[in-house]
């Protein structure tokens, strides 16, 4: 369902009228395509406090030319991205350097540009440092809400710039167009050690030689995920219910992969995947999901259990079966699909919200163990309002509210979730573990 409001505000009369009425101003987002692989303009590298990060070589490899502060201040060369290294912020005094660094340049950041703030881990006994570092979260999320013009603001906590290369490349590219207001931890967090970070032979085909299985990939977000992983070089297995087999085959043929007709709730789904992939797999994407909305007072047990079965129980069962059987090769990646409804709650979705919050719980508990025992990372994406058949069926006014109630004032596309999934599946993302990353344009729902 086309977003007519977004098209209207792209016209001169539309812009004039909606500005006068104080209505949202969505900007067309610059997304990745074969012809537009980079954000273009220069990258400005700023520092607040004294940093020990070896960041410059990693930033140089993003392919964005270095910008200068004076150019940005005068507006002569609009930076496409600003990276503020605030890992050295230790107290309220040095926090002031964040303001001093960004205040003069933020206006000049190009439309659809990026602000990436780098912070230190919060596991310090120094409560002044912890306060100043946590302050970066409120800063990042507030700037994300006010910056406008399709620009995004994210915070990355890290200790090693090399381990964050895949993440910085993602955030500093058009692939992260709909990811804003996120706090992403690299190689840190609840007992999550450094994972295996393997720089790919070719950064534009990072999954070459790897096999990826995507559940629910006959259409919608799953189809886009399969497409993106195939673009990145993976051999894809397109899994969907037997009733969708024809569509699954069509997708698989287009991508040079194979289709697997299987209801993921089958008790033996794990074994059947292992049988279909005797050589094992590297990337497991739990995307299949359903909604059966009703308020709790009107919800029969069948609606509750069908949603919990598809969205959570089968995710747990197949994950356990594939890990226990050693089907997921070392260096493997599991990416599950949560939802902002699971983080913020949504009226009429007690079943769906429970299932998607459960996915976040699975990630939290399994991530450190799967990495330690199997050398496999476990993360989740949490989509917000994404333009799919699922959301096209939502009544007009609720749909319009869903589209506008985020910092980018528009819905995301399946490709936005797919690009985020591809970053988490990347061989160089081994230090990204236990994260639930929202792809929601910084939705006003939830944190």
* DSSP-H helix ranges across 290-333: 301-308, 314-324
E strand or H helix at 366, and its extent? helix 350-374
Pick the catalytic residue from 170, 352, 385, 423: 352
Cβ proximity to ligand NAD: between 263 and 271 the closer is 263
Q: How far is the CB of 202 from ligand NAD (least distance, A)?
A: 29
**Residue 66 CB partners (closer than 8 Å, separation 6+):** 42, 43, 44, 45, 59, 60
Q: H helices within 263-300, ranges in order?
A: 269-276
Q: How far is the CB of 230 from ligand NAD (least distance, A)?
A: 17
Under a CB-based contact definition with an 8 Å cutoff, are residues 172 and 149 in contact? no
Shortest Cβ distance from residue 293 to ligand NAD (Å)? 12
Q: Within a 13 Å sphere around the CA of 215, how many CA atoms are in the beta-carbon half? A: 25
Which lies closer to ligand NAD via its Cβ, residue 159 or residue 265?
265
Dist CA 252 CA 238 (whole Å):
6
**Minimum CB distance to ligand NAD smaller for 172 or for 217:** 217
Of the candidates 150, 114, 157, the one whose C-alpha atom is nearest the C-alpha of residue 133 is 157
CA angle at 106 for the pair 404 and 405, rounded to the nearest 5°: 10
- State which residue, 83 or 241, has the beta carbon closest to ligand NAD: 241
Q: 83, 218, 327, 413: which one contacts ligand NAD (CB under 6 A)? A: 218
Q: Please, what is the minimum distance in Å from the beta carbon of residue 385 to ligand NAD?
A: 5
Asked if 418 is part of the footprint of ligand NAD (rule: CB under 6 A), the reply reads no
Cα–Cα distance, 234 to 249 (Å, whole number): 17
The footprint of ligand NAD on residues 308-327 (CB under 6 A) is 310
Nearer to ligand NAD, 216 or 441 (CB): 216
Binding residue for ligand NAD (CB under 6 A) from 228, 318, 339, 346? 339
State the residue number with the nearest CB to ligand NAD.
Answer: 289
Based on the residue annotation, tell me whether 352 is a catalytic residue of this protein: yes
Q: Which is nearer to ligand NAD, 98 or 310 (CB)?
A: 310
Query: Do the Cβ atoms of 255 and 418 come closer than 8 Å?
Result: no
Which of 337, 377, 407, 420 forms a contact with ligand NAD (CB under 6 A)?
Answer: 337
Question: Which CB, 147 or 229, lies closer to ligand NAD?
Answer: 229
Residue 88: both structure tokens together: 């050295």
Closest CA to 156 of 83, 90, 102, 63: 83
Give the range of 53-61, 66-74, 87-95, 259-267 binding ligand NAD by CB under 6 A. Answer: 259-267
Residue closer to ligand NAD by CB (options 151, 286) is 286
**C-alpha to C-alpha distance for 177 and 419, rounded to whole angstroms:** 9
Q: How far apart are CA 222 and CA 214, in angstroms?
A: 7
> What are the structure tokens assigned to 310, written together?
């598809």
Site track 160-199 with ligand NAD (rule: CB under 6 A), x = hit: ----------------------------------------
Residues in contact with 220: Cβ distance below 8 Å, sequence separation at least 6, in sequence order:
388, 389, 390, 414
Which of 389, 395, 396, 397: binder of ligand NAD (CB under 6 A)?
Answer: 389
User: Residue 80 Cβ, how far from ligand NAD at the closest point, in Å?
Assistant: 28
Contacts with ligand NAD in 233-252 (CB under 6 A)? 240-241, 244
Is 1 among the residues that bind ligand NAD (CB under 6 A)?
Answer: no
227 binds ligand NAD (CB under 6 A): no
Look-up of token digits 């069908």: 306
Size of the site for ligand NAD (CB under 6 A): 27
Q: How far apart are CA 381 and CA 291, in angstroms?
A: 17
DSSP E strands in 248-327: the ranges are 258-261, 281-286
Residue nearer to ligand NAD on the CB measure, 303 or 374: 303
The torsion region of residue 49 among left (phi > 0), alpha (psi -120 to 50) and beta comes to left
Binder of ligand NAD out of 299, 390, 405, 444 (CB under 6 A): 390
| Total residues found in the chain within this entry | 447
Question: In the complex, what is the shortest distance from the CB of residue 386 to ligand NAD, in angstroms, rounded to a whole number?
Answer: 4
> What is the contact mask toward ligand NAD in residues 263 to 302, using x (rule: CB under 6 A)?
xxx---------------------xxxx------------
Least separation in angstroms between residue 222's CB and ligand NAD is 5
Q: Is 49 in the site for ligand NAD (CB under 6 A)?
A: no
- For the chain, the farthest-separated pair of C-alpha atoms sits apart, in whole angstroms, at 64
DSSP 86-123: EEE--SHHHHHHHHHHHTTTGGGSPTT-EEEEEE--S-
Q: Which residues of this protein are in contact with ligand NAD, per CB under 6 A?
A: 215-216, 218-222, 240-241, 244, 263-265, 287-290, 310, 337, 339, 383, 385-386, 388-391
Enumerate the active-site residues. 352
């Amino acid at each position: 369902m086309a977003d007519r409001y977004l098209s209207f505000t792209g016209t001169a009369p539309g812009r004039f009228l909606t500005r006068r009425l104080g209505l949202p101003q969505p900007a067309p987002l610059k997304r990745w395509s074969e012809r537009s692989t980079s954000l273009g303009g220069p990258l400005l590298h700023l520092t607040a406090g004294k940093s020990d990060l070896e960041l410059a070589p990693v930033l140089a490899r993003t392919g964005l030319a270095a910008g200068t502060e004076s150019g940005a201040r005068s507006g002569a060369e609009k930076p496409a991205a600003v990276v503020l290294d605030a890992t050295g912020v230790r107290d309220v005094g040095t926090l002031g350097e964040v303001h001093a660094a960004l205040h003069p340049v933020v206006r000049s950041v190009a439309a659809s540009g990026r602000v990436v703030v780098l912070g230190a881990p919060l596991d310090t006994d120094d409560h002044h440092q912890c306060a100043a570092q946590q302050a970066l979260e409120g800063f990042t999320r507030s700037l994300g809400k006010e910056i406008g013009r399709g620009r995004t603001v994210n915070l990355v906590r890290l200790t090693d710039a090399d381990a964050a290369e895949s993440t910085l490349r993602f955030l500093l590219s058009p692939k992260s167009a709909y990811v804003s207001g996120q706090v992403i931890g690299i190689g840190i967090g609840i007992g999550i050690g450094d994972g295996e970070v393997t720089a790919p032979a070719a950064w534009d085909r990072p999954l070459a030689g790897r096999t990826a299985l995507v559940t629910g990939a006959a259409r919608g977000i799953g189809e886009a995920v399969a497409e993106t992983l195939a673009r990145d070089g993976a051999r894809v297995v397109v899994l969907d219910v037997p009733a969708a087999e024809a569509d699954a085959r069509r997708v698989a043929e287009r991508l040079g992969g194979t289709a697997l007709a299987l209801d993921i709730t089958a008790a033996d789904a794990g074994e059947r995947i292992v049988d279909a992939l005797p050589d094992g797999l590297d990337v497991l994407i739990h995307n299949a999901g359903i909604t059966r909305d009703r308020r709790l007072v009107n919800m029969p047990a069948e609606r509750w259990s069908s949603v919990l079965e598809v969205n959570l129980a089968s995710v747990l069962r197949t994950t356990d079966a594939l890990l226990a059987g050693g089907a997921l090769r070392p260096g493997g990646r599991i990416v599950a699909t949560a939802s902002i409804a699971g983080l913020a709650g949504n009226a009429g979705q007690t079943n769906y919200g429970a299932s998607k919050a459960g996915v976040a719980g699975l990630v939290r508990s399994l991530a450190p163990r799967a990495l330690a025992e199997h050398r496999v990372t476990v993360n989740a994406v949490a989509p917000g309002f994404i333009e799919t058949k699922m959301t096209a069926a939502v009544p007009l006014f609720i749909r319009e509210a869903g589209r506008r109630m985020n910092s980018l004032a528009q819905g995301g596309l399946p490709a936005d979730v797919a690009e985020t999934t591809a970053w988490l599946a990347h061989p160089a993302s081994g230090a990204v573990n236990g994260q639930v990353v929202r792809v929601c344009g910084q939705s006003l729902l939830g944190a």
